Amino acid sequence: MSSTGNSRKARYWGWGYEDIVYDRATTEHALKALVQEFRLSDLPTKTTAIDIGQHAVPESKLQRDFIDRWSNKGLSVDKAQRVIHTVGKSYRDLVRIRAGKIDRYPDGVLFLQDERDLQFLFEDASLFGITLIPFGGGSGVVGGTECVGPSDKPILVISLRKLNKLLSLDEISRTATFQPGILGPELEAALHERGYTLGHFPQSFEFSTLGGWVATRSAGQNSTKYGRIDKLVVSLKAQTPRGAMETRAVPASAAGPSLKEIWVGSEGIYGILTEITVKIAPLPQTQRFVGAFFNDFGVGVHAVRKMIQAGLHPSILRLSDPTETALFRKMQPMSGWKEAAFSLWLRVKKAGSAPSLLLLTTEGNREESLRQESLIRESLQKNGAAVLSKGLSEKIGMKWLQNRFALPYLRDDFMDHSFFIDTLETAALWSGLERLHGRMGAGFQEREKKTGEKVTVGCHLSHAYADGASLYFTLIAVQRKNEELRQWDEIKKLATDTIMENGGTVSHHHGVGYDHRPWMKQEKTELGIQVLRQIKSQLDPDRLLNPEKTI
């Protein structure tokens, strides 16, 4: 990943900043690998997104009186802002925004200045008949900020980005209270200054907010150690059209159902989070990598399970299946003799010709991190792993670490060259994990036989718990020109149906949004959905907030 200048202009049509380009050598290698994978005669010609000015953004439907009341409180009806805030960053979003095929743009963006404006805003939204869509970093990949809602009502996006302060830090209790709109790097910088970390690093880290993490019930790459966001939230405050709600800042309680849990995963349908208190941890003194190969994904899953159930606690943890491991290897520009030496090593270690790569870290204080590393190496070896040397583990690990937030940039390159690429993730109990993984691959192979469309399915186990783990799937295909959205629909449906039919959850960390909504009855039961709707009718009776999302 390299920066070509000082400008920090965002790619409105893709990931991150315009001046960031994914490592060129890897990109070229990766594209070549895709040409091979899909047996194309040549790399498809590069296409680029239309210019932001070419978007046919209609006049704002926001009422003149409303605009007058809010223009000095952060309201913008600027067309570029309206384009930028019209979708998130899913493949489906980018296909549409690159081509300017957007059904609906928001009619304005309110950069909220002050939490205290919210109650007035709800009143005005009710009075003027305006739909409100809360917006954090805008990095969502499940349509959580999709501009949908009653067609006769203007849509106003509420950007929380100005509410980005650290409000307090309690070193005794190791908790910190933030406003919701703080981005990952801002939050970590504020904590680092005092010697702490939240330990929450989703791939979107640079472009997502604490409020977004909580609202989507997210997990980060280090969550196997620090815990998902639902474990990190101590308490929160929210403003709803019916007033404020606040949960008590206590470590645990038996005082009835946890209302905090109604907000974690609420995706802006109930109200807007305004203060969030989280657990913090001292900055780790060290981070150590362990890399290993297995001759079979199932053996790897078994080894990871044994390690976690023995009480060992890696921080980052990813076990790639053979398809993902092979793709990963193909994408690395590696000299011929290195590749040969490596293949030989794998043979000697009996890791087979289609191995699964495990990469993990241990972190914390020096002593504990070393001890975990040594116990983990021992546990893996006992369970069939070909464990890499410390040096090589470190090398592969650092490479991954440096790139860990950059992979979505590579997606833009893939889309430039007309490849379909989507990711989706789930979690299941250990006893059902391999079946689910196997069914996903088999399902797309069966589909290829029927339709002739090849979809390459790579997967890694990304978070592990005592009772199960998360699986993260990457699906790649050649784009069907002019049928990009239909193609996505078909692939998404097969993948998600496979998850639901095999005991998985519809999402382990991306959330529900607009895209996963069709599966929510299966996930929550009919009665469960009714309960969630009932809560909505209590907190947002006029249905101002984020309609048609989640339920």
Within residues 9-38, the interface with a copy of itself by CB under 8 A covers none
Task: Specify whether the CB–CB gap between 107 and 64 falls below 8 A.
Answer: no
Would you call 97 helix, strand, or coil by DSSP? helix
x/- site string to a copy of itself, residues 306 to 335, per CB under 8 A? Answer: ---x-x------------------------
Q: Is 472 a catalytic residue?
A: yes
Tokens of 198: 């939240």
Start-to-end C-alpha separation, the chain: 39
Q: Cβ 531 to a copy of itself, closest distance in Å?
A: 5
Q: Which stretch binds a copy of itself (CB under 8 A): 183-191, 226-234, 393-401, 480-488?
A: 226-234
Tokens of 432: 């059902």
Q: Which stretch binds a copy of itself (CB under 8 A): 55-63, 185-193, 402-410, 516-524?
A: 516-524
- Furthest-apart CA pair in the chain: how many Å? 75
Binders in 271-310 for a copy of itself, by CB under 8 A: 279, 281, 305, 309
Among 2, 285, 381, 525, binds a copy of itself (CB under 8 A): 525
Binding of a copy of itself at residue 430 (CB under 8 A)? yes
Q: Which of 226, 270, 472, 514 is catalytic?
A: 472
* Pick from 492, 402, 479: nearest CA to 444: 492
Among 115, 267, 413, 422, binds a copy of itself (CB under 8 A): 267
Q: How many Å apart are CA 312 and CA 310, to the nearest integer?
A: 6
Among 539, 540, 545, 547, binds a copy of itself (CB under 8 A): 539
**Residue at 284: amino acid letter:** P
Binding of a copy of itself at residue 527 (CB under 8 A)? yes
Q: Cβ 453 to a copy of itself, closest distance in Å?
A: 28
Concatenate the DSSP letters of all residues of 287-305 into one string: EEEEEEEESSHHHHHHHHH
Binders in 365-394 for a copy of itself, by CB under 8 A: 368
Binding of a copy of itself at residue 82 (CB under 8 A)? no
Binders in 126-145 for a copy of itself, by CB under 8 A: none
Binders in 35-74 for a copy of itself, by CB under 8 A: none
Binders in 190-219 for a copy of itself, by CB under 8 A: 216-219
Residues 6+ apart with CB under 8 A from 432: 468, 502, 503, 504
Q: Which residues of 134-167 are buried (b: 16+ CB within 10 A; e: fewer)?
A: bbbbbbbbbbbbbbbbeeebbbbbbbbbebbebe
- 16 torsion bin: left (phi>0), alpha (psi -120 to 50), beta (else): left
Binding of a copy of itself at residue 350 (CB under 8 A)? no
Binders in 98-127 for a copy of itself, by CB under 8 A: none
Under rule CB under 8 A, how many of the chain's residues touch a copy of itself? 87
Q: Which stretch binds a copy of itself (CB under 8 A): 314-322, 453-461, 472-480, 526-534?
A: 526-534
Binders in 455-514 for a copy of itself, by CB under 8 A: 463, 465-470, 503-512
Tokens of 362: 């241990």
C-alpha dist (Å) from residue 166 to 170, 191, 244: 11, 9, 20
Q: Cβ 229 to a copy of itself, closest distance in Å?
A: 9
Catalytic residue positions? 472
